Amino acid sequence: MSYRFMRMLLFFDLPSVTNSDLKEYRKFRKFLIENGFSMLQESVYSKLLLHNTASHMMLEKLQKNKPEKGSVCVLIITEKQYQKMVLLIGELKGTFLETDERLVIL
């Protein structure tokens, strides 16, 4: 495992009271999915990045597409740190990369 791989964790809490709030939520969630984020929990998304420069580029994209209201937080850690995550209860749902063992870089 190389330490150059990074994992971006994105946490958000957006209002969903009005129709325009729901529209902003759907727009932001669609942006995340189209840009390679996978859902870990309802408002927690993860993305595997090749290196620190890619994480800075993704942060710039997020800045340009952030919702007007609510809270969005980003945490960037190494893939090695991400693999140390412990699941205490429940099960992992969704499709996301758990390892880079068979990752092909073109």
**Gyration radius from the chain CA atoms:** 15
Q: What is the pLDDT along the chain (106 residues), one digit of tens a residue?
A: 445 789 999 999 999 899 999 999 999 999 999 999 999 988 999 999 988 888 999 999 999 999 999 999 999 998 888 888 888 887 766 555 555 555 556 5
Name residue 41's amino acid: Q
Cα(37)–Cα(7) distance, integer angstroms: 10
Q: Which residues contact 48 (CB under 8 A, 6 or more apart)?
A: 5, 6, 7, 36, 79, 96, 97, 100, 103
